[in-house]
Structure 1
Amino acid sequence: MRDPLDYPWAFDALTAGYVIETGFTAGQPTTADRTGRSYVVAVGSNASPDVMRDKFARYGAPVPFPMEGCTLTGVQVGHGAFVSAGGYIPAAPYASPGTIAHLWGAWLTERQVAALDTTEPNYDRMTLPAADWALTLDRGEAPARFGLYRSRHGMLRTGSGGPAPLAEQRTLLASITALGAPIPDDGQLAVSADLRSWLRSHRISDGLTTAVSVRA
């Protein structure tokens, strides 16, 4: 059982490679291993090979699958304005014109994408043209399109009004406590109606529905 306070569990040194049943094998994904798969960008714990392996095991989707990094223009990562079933305030993307973010993603089969969708009830998966968002893989190539999960609940805003930047959960909770968030003493965020209400009152749009791509 992962500690919610350690979310997103993906801040370890990441490298390109393959998620396999027994762990992770470093190595550059080959063209053959990417063929017939979709590149899905991760903004939170889906960048963790362990998290992804556990999700697919739970929903009967097979491994292995390749993972590798990318740069993406016009999108940044903050926190959705909701508490996940796991008891943490999760990551979510938002429009940030001109910003260049380095993120990680997985090459997934249709079955794996369907399984991942099932694990993300608080998100909608968008399929976006890679060229419109200047997505480039770390090795210099780019897929035709990519998947990106956006929050159904908007973004958590800071005291200044902008989206709260992605942070480790302990840091985030300390910052929103200072803003008056009613964090329960027992740490059980998922069952706190007061916290859910506070988050709803401190949400803003992610801007992705009206975002302008870098080619527009």
Structure 2
Amino acid sequence: MQDRSLEALGYAGVPAREPLIYPGRLVGRPSFLNGDELLDLRPSGAPLGDWPVALPAGASERPQRATVDGLLTLLGVPPAQERFPVLAVGSNAAPGQVRHKLARLGSSGALPMVPVRVRGISVGLSGHISPAGYVAAAPYADPDAESPLVATWLDAAQLNAVDSTELPNYGRAFLPGDAFPVTLPSGRRLPGAYLYYNARGILAHPDGTPRAGGAQPAVLAQLLSESPRLRELFGHGPESWTGRAGADAELRARGTAAFEAEGWLRREDGFARYAVRADRP
């Protein structure tokens, strides 16, 4: 039987445990995450719940081909039409991180993860330092942009679990499809999707242009090279940054304050008008 485990496929990395691998390996094709395994989806013009799932030959108690809804039903979790499409930015698009996050919070690890094209959104750097010590990716509104993101379909319990990891540093917005078109690999567009946006803002250059993301070691090295404040707090390299920041919440707060003191923090208001309350979808 073909091994579809995250470990065998190279998706097992968890940035929450290894911050310098942030954002981790992102899902690159339409997939169904089922805890420790990642299965291929076959996009079609039909609704997501009817997309075929390719199951490993010889998988016990499961047909070799099934649909998204068929597999979700077999697993005893809500079908696609009862789920919430959430655009994943950064490590929330990495199966290893998603598995870790949901398992730690006691939530089901079964969900579709599908690469999509999104208009009106670009991705920069978060205006705060995460508990693991990395500087995460964060979206910002950009009318001229079209970005590759990953749509995840979360059930209500999963959505509440992810909320608990993102808030209050992030807000959650529902972006209407006419303002932020989201196109599936099949060519169909979603009527809308949720997005977590940074409540503090994003990091910008002195001229106000957003800073680009990238490999975490390069991101941290660049920030350190430009800021004596950050070097005083975190040392002179990415390893010392993540080691110190990941171990000390007060130090992370001081580092986050240093972003603003350097004049790097740019408020992001493009999504706030679409914000939803954290206690409801």
Moved more, 23-32 or 150-159: 23-32
* Alignment pair present for 1:154 and 2:201: yes
Q: Separation in 2 of the partners of 1:204 and 1:125? A: 18
Specify the SS of the correspondent of 1:119.
helix
* Alignment pair present for 1:79 and 2:125: yes
Contact 2:36–2:99, Cα closer than 8 Å, also in 1: no
One-letter amino acid of the structure 2 residue matched with residue 66 of structure 1: P
Contact 1:159–1:179, Cα closer than 8 Å, also in 2: no
Between the two structures, name the one with larger relative contact order (CA 8 Å, sep ≥ 6): 1
Distance 1:18 1:35, change over 3 A: same
Q: TM-score, normalised by structure 2?
A: 0.70
Shift in Å at residue 197 of structure 1? 2.2
2:192 to 136, 145, 150: 145
1:199 to 243, 259, 263: 259
Distance 1:5 1:63, change over 3 A: closer
Q: Separation in 2 of the partners of 1:99 and 1:76? A: 6
Q: Separation in 2 of the partners of 1:74 and 1:21? A: 32
Deviations 1:17-49 (A, max 9, x none): 111122211223642432211110011100001
The corresponding residue for 1:175 is 222
Shift in Å at residue 131 of structure 1? 2.4
The corresponding residue for 2:29 is 15
Q: TM-score, normalised by structure 1?
A: 0.89
Shift in Å at residue 159 of structure 1? 3.6
Structure 2: give runs of 5+ residues left out of the alignment: 1-13, 51-68, 70-79, 274-281
Q: Separation in 2 of the partners of 1:71 and 1:195? A: 33
The corresponding residue for 1:28 is 42
Distance 1:209 1:112, change over 3 A: closer
The corresponding residue for 2:181 is 134
Q: Separation in 1 of the partners of 2:133 and 2:245? A: 5
Deviations 1:53-73 (A, max 9, x none): 111111111131111011111
One-letter amino acid of the structure 1 residue matched with residue 267 of structure 2: S
Between structures 1 and 2, the one with greater helix share: 2
How many pairs are equivalent? 211
Contact 2:173–2:272, Cα closer than 8 Å, also in 1: no
Specify the SS of the correspondent of 2:98.
helix
The corresponding residue for 1:54 is 100
Contact 1:23–1:50, Cα closer than 8 Å, also in 2: no
Contact 1:81–1:153, Cα closer than 8 Å, also in 2: yes
Q: Separation in 1 of the partners of 2:254 and 2:159? A: 34
Based on CA coordinates, which of the two structures has the bigger radius of gyration? 2
Distance 1:209 1:148, change over 3 A: closer
Q: Separation in 2 of the partners of 1:51 and 1:94? A: 22
Moved more, 18-27 or 87-96: 18-27
What fraction of aligned residue pairs are identical, expressed as a percent? 29
Specify the SS of the correspondent of 2:220.
helix
Shift in Å at residue 15 of structure 1? 1.3
Q: Separation in 1 of the partners of 2:158 and 2:210? A: 30
Specify the SS of the correspondent of 1:93.
strand
Distance 1:16 1:108, change over 3 A: same
